Amino acid sequence: MYKKKKVQLKDIAQEANVSVALVSYVLNGRHTNRIKPETAERIKEAAMRLNYQPNYFAKGLKTQKSYTIGLVLADLTNPFSTQITRAIENELNNHQYNILIGSTDENGDKLRNLIDVFRSRQVDGLIILPTENSEKVITELHESGFPYVLIDRYFRDTAFNFVVNDNYFTTFSATKRLIKRGKRKIGFITLKTNLFHISERKRGFIEACEEAGIDITDCIVEATLEQLDKEVRAGINNIKQKYSNLDALLFSTDNLMLCGLQYAIKYKLYVENRIELMAVDEARFYNIYPSPIQYYKQPLAEMGQKAVQFLMSKIEGNKSQTIQEIVKGKLVG
């Protein structure tokens, strides 16, 4: 049986009319500042036409790298996970890196196991959304010197590497927007957890209301992950009973917003009560609601880009480099 010849760098060089060294530089992302963009594009197009498939195994033997990153998510079913994965994967593609994905389901034991599994599979680095009470696990990883970065979530007063959204600004600015629109009775639906980014969102809501002189007694609902839908429904009912003139609900995560939307549609909050809904995180399911929904758009592309670029630098041997970066998103609608 005829076996098709494997495309080599010299074939691409001949096709693009450049040197083999130049092809190697472009396909491996090296010396990019020294190569003309049009030349790099010509080489990439030639590689695509010839259906070039890099030999990562051979490349790894030579460089002692697997060209793979492990991504540890908190919950694969959450729309946020899809969005942050896409942002990270887009940037990894620029560095010719692959990605392995695992989910902890918000379980600390699973987090530890995934870190061990990924490291045993020789990933070059880790991007992690840590679970509640996982500070000890991350401390061990940090002290080992293995390249990693936390994303979306972090721990206060630690030396850990992280790139996160400004969670205080998230709800402070969202609450201020509602107040500016004349809302004075605002319910805040959040999670019952000690995760720092959620605590910061709660603080942002409280301080925005205090600054405006708004009473928030009995206006905050904290739901557990185990009883999310049930506790969100009960919480909204309690707020409505306490304040017949409730005019807005702010949800601190997209999953909470989904629970709130189901309630709002069932009880026609947009018709009978004119209650405005606002959310943290964007999600495609918002369009099922008859009334426009404002939301805070997290800077996921920027977060993914910064996290990957930092990790690439660590993998290349910059052991002293650290990152603790907080970036801001924007309100939409």
Would you state the pLDDT for residue 213?
A: 96
Which CATH number describes the domain made up of 62-165+300-328? 3.40.50.2300
Q: Would you tell me which CATH number, out of the four given (3.40.50.2300, 3.50.50.60, 3.40.50.620, 3.40.630.30), belongs to the domain 167-297?
A: 3.40.50.2300
| Least reliable range by pLDDT among 38-52, 70-84, 227-241, 317-331 | 38-52
Give the per-residue pLDDT at 59: 56
Integer Cα distance of 23 and 29 in angstroms = 10
* Whole-structure pTM value: 0.80
pLDDT of residue 1: 41
Which band of pLDDT confidence, cut at 50, 70 and 90, is reported for residue 2? very low
Instruction: Average the pLDDT over 94-123 and give the result.
Output: 93
Predicted pLDDT of residue 79: 84
3-state secondary structure the chain: CCCCCCCCHHHHHHHHCCCHHHHHHHHCCCCHHHCCHHHHHHHHHHHHHCCCCCCHHHHHHHHCCCCEEEEEECCCCCHHHHHHHHHHHHHHHCCCCEEEEEECCCCHHHHHHHHHHHHHCCCCEEEECCCCCCHHHHHHHHHHCCCEEEECCCCCCCCCCEEEECHHHHHHHHHHHHHHCCCCCEEEEEECCCCHHHHHHHHHHHHHHHHCCCCCCCCEEEECCCCHHHHHHHHHHHHHHHCCCCCEEEECCHHHHHHHHHHHHHCCHHHHHCCEEEEECCCHHHHHCCCCCEEEECCHHHHHHHHHHHHHHHHCCCCCCCCEEEECCEEEC
Domain map (residue ranges) of the chain: 9-54, 62-165+300-328, 167-297
The fold adopted by the segment(s) 9-54 is: 434 Repressor (Amino-terminal Domain) (1.10.260)
Give the percent of the chain with pLDDT over 70.
93
Whether 62-165+300-328 and 9-54 are alike in CATH topology: the answer is no
- Residue pLDDT, tens place only, 131-183: 999 999 999 999 999 999 999 999 999 999 999 999 999 999 999 999 999 99
| Tokens (6 digits) for 172 | 């402070």
